[in-house]
């Protein structure tokens, strides 16, 4: 059986990062390959506060942030949510742990695969991390599946690295049109746009998966609005949430990293695990989110929802909604009473899923 080594953000305190990594392993194994996530972490990506502390003003802000997060026990709730993340992958994590590219030089797999998530966004990894460009190991095949840059444009000092590393790839796909255009701007290469791996699984497959996850926070049966924001906390979106809450006359439950209660939240959901994250979306009457994967799972479970542009990284959600013909759900709380017609959406999503799976199969079948 051919062995595939996967490089991605798998150990992040992020629901989307963990769930896309799980989905990548799931799909590749279903195609008949031995899939393994290489346990590499970029140390800068693991930091919650990403700034140059040599700057006095920035350092003072960091101290205030540190005190605030200590008082609200952020670390406790984050550990509760993501402390057992590796268990989600079962036997699909490499036995060795790595933090430097030099440690990966002798790795041998039949194919190396990078993706999905924002693995090519140097703002997340401090600088362009060539581990995520697969510039290591002795594998004969290199594949990119649904790699993303977020909203980051390739900088002049990064162009040479991209050219050097990507010329060794056999197949390249990205998640957004934006990333495809950025790569084609600096390289004459074939680039395909494919779905995020979470969307390759059906809602039935996800439901089967989360049934294996123990539930610590029981999901209520009564209707609720679920909110989840990654760009800012919910208070930043208070006006939009209030507008929908008034129309729906439902309580607002907010997934967050602490127990601070913001207006207009009726119930705080802290310490939610990845499996529970999917369950809360599955059972929600309505969803409001600025998260790419919050939007993706809303689509999978055919939910009524409003997506709000992420202030730092708006392109990902915008392009996802455009791909299924739901661009009117972006930044439009006034449309919350307009029901989504999922027959047309599912048709487009199924077509994109079939095409993406076929692309991945073709890329993997090229392994000699």
Q: Convert the pLDDT of each residue in 13-27 to its tens digit.
A: 899 999 999 999 999
Residue 265 is inside which H or E element, if any? none
CA–CA gap between residue 134 and residue 198 (Å, rounded): 22
- The string of pLDDT tens digits covering residues 311-356 is 888 999 999 999 999 999 999 999 999 999 999 999 999 999 999 9
| Token couple for 348 | 């487009």
The arrangement of strands across the sheet holding 305-307 comes to: 267-270, 252-256, 225-228, 286-289, 305-307
Q: What is the pLDDT of residue 66?
A: 59
For every residue of 331-363, DSSP letters joined together read: S-GGGTTS---HHHHHHHHHHHHHHHHHHHHHH
Spell out the residues 6+ positions from residue 165 whose beta carbon is closer than 8 angstroms to its own: 130, 133, 134, 135
CA distances from 139 to 100, 108, 110, 189, 367 (A): 18, 6, 6, 21, 10
What pLDDT is attached to residue 215? 66
* DSSP-assigned beta bridge partners for residue 42: none
The residue whose two tokens read 């990205």 is 174
pLDDT computed for residue 218 by the predictor: 82
Tokens of 132: 């995520």
* pTM listed for this prediction: 0.91
Q: What does the alpha-carbon distance between residue 110 and residue 132 come to, in Å, rounded to a whole number?
A: 17
Answer for the pair 355, 194: CB distance below 8 angstroms, yes or no.
Answer: yes
Residue 94 has phi, psi (to 5 degrees) of: -60, 150
Low-confidence ranges of the chain (pLDDT < 70): 47-72, 213-215, 367-368
Closest of 69, 158, 174 to residue 119, by C-alpha: 174
Strand-pairing partners, residue 226, are 253, 287
pLDDT at 51: 54
Distance CA 224, CA 226 (A): 6
Domains of the chain with bracketed CATH: 3-48+81-201+351-365 (3.40.50), 215-348 (3.40.50.2000)
Q: Measuring CA to CA, which residue among 274, 284, 283, 293 is closest to residue 250?
A: 284
Distance CA(262)–CA(242), nearest Å, equals 12
> What was the pLDDT predicted at 49?
44
């Amino acid at each position: 059986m051919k062995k595939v080594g996967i490089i991605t953000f798998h150990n992040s305190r992020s629901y989307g990062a963990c769930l896309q990594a799980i989905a990548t392993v799931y799909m590749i194994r279903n195609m008949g390959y031995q899939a393994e996530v290489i346990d590499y972490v970029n140390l800068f990506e693991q930091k919650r506060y990403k700034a140059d502390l040599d700057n006095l003003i920035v350092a003072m802000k960091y101290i205030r942030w540190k005190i605030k997060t200590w008082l609200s026990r952020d670390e406790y709730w984050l550990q509760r949510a993501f402390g057992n993340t590796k268990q989600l992958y079962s036997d699909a994590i490499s036995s060795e742990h790595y933090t430097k590219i030099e440690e990966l030089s002798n790795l041998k797999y039949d194919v190396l695969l990078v993706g999905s998530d924002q693995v090519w966004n140097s703002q997340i990894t401090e600088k362009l991390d060539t581990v995520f460009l697969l510039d290591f190991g002795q594998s004969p095949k290199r594949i990119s599946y649904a790699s993303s840059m977020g909203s980051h444009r390739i900088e002049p000092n990064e162009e040479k690295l991209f050219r050097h590393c990507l010329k060794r790839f056999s197949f390249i796909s990205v998640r957004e049109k934006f990333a495809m255009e950025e790569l084609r701007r600096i390289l004459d290469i074939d680039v395909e746009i494919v779905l995020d791996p979470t969307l390759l699984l059906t809602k039935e497959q996800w439901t089967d998966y989360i049934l294996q996850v123990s539930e610590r926070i029981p999901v209520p049966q009564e209707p609720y609005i679920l909110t989840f924001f990654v760009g800012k906390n919910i208070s930043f979106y208070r006006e939009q949430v209030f507008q929908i809450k008034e129309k729906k006359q439902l309580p607002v439950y907010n997934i967050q990293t602490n127990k601070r209660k913001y207006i207009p939240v009726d119930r705080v959901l802290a310490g939610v695990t990845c499996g529970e994250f999917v369950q809360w979306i599955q059972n929600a009457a309505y969803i409001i989110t600025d998260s790419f994967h919050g939007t993706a799972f809303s689509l999978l479970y055919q939910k009524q929802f409003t997506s709000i542009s992420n202030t730092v990284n708006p392109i990902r959600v915008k392009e996802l909604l455009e791909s299924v013909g739901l661009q009117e759900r972006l930044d439009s709380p006034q449309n919350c009473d307009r029901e989504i017609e999922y027959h047309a959406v599912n048709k487009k999503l199924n077509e994109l899923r079939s095409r993406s799976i076929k692309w991945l199969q073709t890329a993997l079948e090229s392994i000699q």
